[in-house]
Amino acid sequence: MQPVRLAGEGVYRWYGLRIYEARLWVGPQGYRDSAPAAAPFVLELRYARALQGSRIAEASAEQMEKVGAGSAVQRKVWLETMRGLFPDVREGDRIAGRYVPGVGARFYLNGAPLGGAQGGAQPPVLDAEFAQAFFSIWLSPRSTAPALREALLRQAAAQP
């Protein structure tokens, strides 16, 4: 297992309300602004308030559109996938997305796999195009939260 390190962290606020804390974890290869990303990483969101899973999915699809990720048809399909994947969260819950280069993304709630995996099995992998679009919400230069992006990428370069 490769060592991981915290690359950066920050807080997302909406109209002054604290919505979540975000943390980006990277391996020795770090993170580079390239599409698609060449190294694995984990983006973790710790929620500061209760939210419905359907609202998380809708907000994610809206942000994908704002950063220009995917086509309208793809985003519609992705929205339905996310509605079936993301649960309602309570204050303190963590949803983590693990990016797997060339494969896609896996998601976890408080460390447990999301998406129908049972008994500690791996959660399903969502395709590479979805993964790139989803993580672009936070990591794209076109992110609508540039200060959070900067905080996440603060120490994301590869280690010597």
Question: Which residues form the domain of 80?
Answer: 5-152
Residue 155, class by beta-carbon neighbours within 10 Å (0-12 exposed, 13-18 middle, 19+ buried)?
middle
Domain count along the chain:
1
Q: Specify the pTM.
A: 0.90
Residue 123 inside a domain? The answer is yes
Residue 87 inside a domain? The answer is yes
Report the CATH number at residue 14: 3.50.70.10
Neighbours of 43 (CB within 10 A): 22
pLDDT in tens, 43-85: 999 999 999 999 999 999 999 999 999 999 999 999 999 999 9
Predicted confidence (pLDDT) at residue 117 exceeds the cutoff of 60: no
Number of H helices, E strands in the chain: 4, 7
Residue 157 inside a domain? The answer is no
Residue 159 inside a domain? The answer is no
Burial 52-86 (b: 16+ CB within 10 A, else e): ebeebbebbbebbeebebbeeeebeebbebbbebb
